[in-house]
Amino acid sequence: MPLITMKCDELIPERGKHTYITDTENPVIPACNVTTIPGDMTERGCPFAGARGVVGGPIVDIIHMVHSPVGCAYYTWGSRRSLPDWYSWSGPNKLDNAAFNRRYCVTTDMEEKDVVFGGGTKLKKACIEAFKMFPEAKGLFMYTTCTSGLIGDDIPAVAKQVEKTVGKPVFFAQAPGCSGVSQSKGHHVLNHEFYRQIKALREKNPDLCMKEEEKTPYDINLIGDYNMDWDIKAIIPLFEQMGIRVVATFTGNERIENLIKMPDAKLNVVHCQRSAGYIAELINEHAGTTHLDVTLYGIVETSKALRDVGKHFGLEKQAEAVIEKETARIKESIAYYRSKLEGKTVALYVGAPRVWHWIHLMEELGMEIVAMACTFAHKDDYEKINAKAKSNILVIDNPNEFEVEEMLHDYKPDLFLCGLKEKYIARKMGVSTVNSHSYEKGPYADYFGFVNFARDIYQGFYAPVWNFVKNNPSEEVE
């Protein structure tokens, strides 16, 4: 089936290029990763959100300096649940979470005079002052935004000066909010700039590389996992059981010293291929490390991932042992939830990769996908969707609010997996939701995470409130 135009889009014909019905025989790729129509009630964020909020943000032991008027820093303060375990001064009655990525919001708070005269000097002073206030910080990451990008502050020069003064590494990502069509641009910029900077650091200071004697033949990086609600607690032990060591996670709950050692690993296992595939390719280009694209959700996909990694290292037997043990452990739970969820319909709306990560997982639960939507997917994401999805599913690229409503109204999913902004819309329409961005009660990755996920879907669907909603006497459907 070809592209379609939704009823609400009659006046915006361009939107018809973004919407299609899947067909395994004749797959279509919609218009994607293109500019948003002004005034469209888009759900997209900006490149700065991608850089600070998603990819850079989870690094735990460095100061995250946002060079901007106060808002950009304020809104990215502790809002994303990429959880850290960095205890710098924890003790009795002390806060157990002191990591920089969520505890502190550090900003230059640019004012009118900085916009007129330039903010470079202020940024330099701010970085040095921040290092004084947080001597335990292992480095600093500077992020630019619309204003600092527009006035053209020389960020690399400031980084160099601060690095010289303080003697600690200073990184930067120049991804102002107006520099791209969605947060995806920010992921891209951060990957490239960060890798270039760690490469330069390693060349300048070989001590930062992993020592030969430290290396094992089974070193991997977990690329593109941001530790939502402790996903890595589910993921890393699986690899460890196989005899594999995870050198660094890019970037969930990770320390900067480990990230600098990324090029020393033997294999890059790439989970979020949209936001971090770039760095895996860069490492491949420069250090020759191969990378494996994996999905770590659900039994089928996770087992395939472990087999692939096992095959790479000649650890097939170990992989099979882990798969057998873990599958046996959760088989009964999943069978229970499947018996409760079988035949129910679901709509998926996430950034991009989790839509195709979860297609098989939904099938494992016996649920039928009726609609899917992505905020910032590229062509390759839609290729992956088309390769995994059955026919006759509605797919919307960068949906606006009307399209989300029309989809919920016309396709009537029993459950909507979506983010914070959409969940309140869906609930007002009587549709149960599960937060698929930062989870309800995670982790959701891997085997025992799958049980959590199934449980949350079950609890979301069977909550008694929806019975009252269905029989709501004040119901006024148009």
Partner 1 sequence: MNRGAIKEQPVVINPCKACQPIGAMYATLGIKHAVPLVQGSQGCSTFVRYQFNRHFREPANIAVTSFHEDAVVFGGRRNLIEGIINLVQHYHPEVIGVVTTCSSETIGDDIAAFIKEAKQRLTAEIGAEKAAKTFIVPLRTPSYSGSHVQGYDNGARQYLEQLAQESKPNQKLNIIPGMINPGDIAEIKHLMSAMGAANNMLFDISETLNAPLKMKNSFFPDGGTAAADLVDAANSLGTIALSRHAGGGAATYLLRKFNVPAVLGPFPVGIYNTDLFLEQAVKLTGQPVTAEIKRERGLLLDAMADTCTITALKKVAIFGDPDTVIGVARFASELGMELIAVGTTADSKEFYREIGLIAKEYNCAPQIVADGGLHKLEQVLLQNRVEMLIGNSNGAAIAKQADIPLVRIGFPVTDRVGYQRRPIVGYNGSLWLLDYIVNAFLERK
User: Position 468: which residue type?
Assistant: F
Q: Taking the alpha carbons of 467, 471, 473, 478 in that order, is the dihedral positive or negative?
A: positive
Residue 187 annotated in active site: yes
Contact 114, 122 (CB under 8 A): yes
Closest CB 196 distance from partner 1, rounded Å = 21
Binding-site member from 87, 424, 462, 467 for partner 1 (CB under 8 A): 424
* Active-site choice (15, 18, 32, 46): 46
Residue 46 annotated in active site: yes
Give whichever of 37 and 300 is closer to partner 1, judged by the CB atom: 37
Burial of 209 (0-12, 13-18, 19+ CB in 10 A): middle
Binding-site member from 30, 120, 169, 180 for partner 1 (CB under 8 A): 180
* Active-site choice (15, 18, 32, 49): 49
Give whichever of 112 and 213 is closer to partner 1, judged by the CB atom: 112
Give whichever of 99 and 259 is closer to partner 1, judged by the CB atom: 99
Closest CB 455 distance from partner 1, rounded Å = 22
Closest CB 198 distance from partner 1, rounded Å = 25
DSSP 380-433: HHHHHHHHH--SS-EEEES-BHHHHHHHHHHH--SEEEE-HHHHHHHHHTT-EE
Give whichever of 206 and 473 is closer to partner 1, judged by the CB atom: 473
Can you read off the two tokens belonging to residue 254?
A: 């990770």
* Active-site choice (80, 274, 312, 354): 80
Does residue 44 touch partner 1 according to CB under 8 A?
A: yes
Strand order from edge to edge, sheet including 245-251: 245-251, 219-225, 267-270, 290-293
β-pairing, 394-397 with 19-21?
Answer: antiparallel
What is the C-alpha separation between 239 and 29, in angstroms, rounded? 35
3-state secondary structure of 215: coil
β-pairing, 170-173 with 140-144?
Answer: parallel
Does residue 77 touch partner 1 according to CB under 8 A?
A: yes
| Binders of partner 1 in range 82-141 (CB under 8 A) | 93-95, 97, 103-112, 114-115, 122, 125-127, 129-130, 133
* Active-site choice (15, 18, 64, 187): 187
Contact segment (CB under 8 A) with partner 1 among 64-72, 209-217, 232-240, 312-320 equals: 64-72
Does residue 464 touch partner 1 according to CB under 8 A?
A: no
Q: Catalogue the active-site residues.
A: 46, 49, 80, 187
